[in-house]
Structure 1
């Protein structure tokens, strides 16, 4: 990061933050900055306010939620920056546990309103929509209720010793998706990262439509890789490996 990307002092003051030297907060916090007990990160577009309002009162069994910090005049975003109360923890390879978090989070989000219409040019939004437009023979229609969910939970769930996990932000889908899709994305992201074995699919076989949800999830990561300007061929090879594996397992089950 360049010096200009460090959280400005006037932003810290607007959120009534304490003075101090900003320290990198890490990927789980959108590569923001920690100053005292507050994390400052760049706003993620139109969903930032929605996520902040949601996290203000969201309760999930066995999960801590990072609460947003308001500015002196009640705003969630100041000069393109958001603020959240810090929770101690780090990203972890505890993928099975995070799938459990995903299922409980989906329960809590089932009755929540959808976020505002997203920015159509956002590569993550485009990827989500292209994913669910896939019509290859392996894909089947999923006849299930749809709801709000989390599109990047593995990268925003942190752990600290024996304490319950914490979720730093809620990143919504482009459109409502089935209940188990958040969990499927966690599983696929764990497989792509080599952080979990393929047996995780069987361990969560009870999730309705899990095979189809996994195909959509890995397709989403493929489309993100195709569209994102910072994507790499190395990342693409890992996505293809997981997609081939899931396709092969599905063929064996038919």
Structure 2
């Protein structure tokens, strides 16, 4: 699944197991504070493995509960998921944490782009039957805000360092009329691969967008962070998909903008990676 960065299992004075997870949370799932807890790279570097259970903090209890419940009801076809686990009290969230079964595989799309897109198609075919939850239109966290900005539903406070690139993308932006559904908006690093194993989808990030937008985000991530002809060759050459790519670029640029504006200004060092993708879009859409 995700590689452990360190190990710990000793209960500290503040009720944490190895300073990683509250002992009361482990107890809610029937685990002992003496069980070893290991941090994982996934889940925003906040996930913790204890035995065959992976714990992850829930930033929004309503959203986390809905995600766990929805995943538990999926009929899988050609992919795996990390099965959600209820607590001993029958809840999906306890003290701000969720739990899922550990699942084998390695995250990382490089070398798996075709398989990743195929998994996206299978996953979203099944998600197309899921009704949109009310909270999707009410979220105010930065990922939700930059998603709306990419679709021109809200205005973002662009920084001087990012606004010139945003303007180029908005000049390419045209309206789209596509059906929306529940999608996983961050699949690139959240599908696990392994020899002899079906791909596994983890860390569900729900949005209400066209299914193909999830693929556009995958391919934009490839252009931004990996590059190469292998990515470009997978891009559908249609005006509709080009518009989805523009929105995907704005989504990722907006996320970088908000991270720099509110958390980590040093992340603006990543801006040059956008120039290659923006250049490709400009050249291929005019």
TM-score interval, normalised by the smaller of the two chains: 0.7 to 0.9
Q: Which residue is equivalent to 2:68?
A: 52
- Which of the residues 123, 133, 136 maps onto 2:152? 133
Q: Which residue is equivalent to 1:165?
A: 199
Q: Which residue is equivalent to 2:113?
A: 95
Question: C-alpha distance in 1, partners of 2:229/2:37?
Answer: 40
Q: Which runs of structure 2 are paired with 1:31-46 in the superposition (5 Å)?
A: 31-45=46-60, 46=62
- Higher deviation after alignment, 180-189 or 15-24: 15-24
How far is the alpha carbon of 1:113 from its aligned partner?
1.3
Say whether the 8 Å CA contact 2:39–2:45 is kept in structure 1.
no
- Whose RCO is larger (CA < 8 A, sep 6+)? 1
Say whether the 8 Å CA contact 1:180–1:208 is kept in structure 2.
no
Structure 2 residue 212 is matched with structure 1 residue 180: yes
- Higher deviation after alignment, 154-163 or 15-24: 15-24
**Structure 2 vs 1, CA of residues 65 and 225 (structure 1 numbering), >3 Å: closer, same or farther?**
same
**Structure 2 vs 1, CA of residues 85 and 130 (structure 1 numbering), >3 Å: closer, same or farther?**
same
Q: Which residue is equivalent to 1:107?
A: 125
Q: Which residue is equivalent to 2:42?
A: 27
- Which of the residues 178, 199, 205 maps onto 2:236? 205
How far is the alpha carbon of 1:197 from its aligned partner?
2.5
**Structure 2 vs 1, CA of residues 136 and 43 (structure 1 numbering), >3 Å: closer, same or farther?**
same
Q: Which residue is equivalent to 1:243?
A: 278
SS at match of 1:186: helix
How far is the alpha carbon of 1:17 from its aligned partner?
3.1
How far is the alpha carbon of 1:207 from its aligned partner?
7.7
Say whether the 8 Å CA contact 2:67–2:204 is kept in structure 1.
yes
Deviations 1:31-56 (A, max 9, x none): 31111000011113132111101110
What TM-score, normalized by structure 1, do the two folds share?
Answer: 0.88
Segments of 5+ residues of structure 2 without an aligned counterpart are 1-5, 7-11, 154-168
- Higher deviation after alignment, 230-239 or 50-59: 230-239
Q: Which residue is equivalent to 2:162?
A: none
Question: C-alpha distance in 2, partners of 1:148/1:63?
Answer: 18
Aligned length: 247
SS at match of 1:223: helix
Say whether the 8 Å CA contact 1:28–1:156 is kept in structure 2.
no
Deviations 1:16-38 (A, max 9, x none): 23652111222257531111000
**Structure 2 vs 1, CA of residues 60 and 142 (structure 1 numbering), >3 Å: closer, same or farther?**
farther
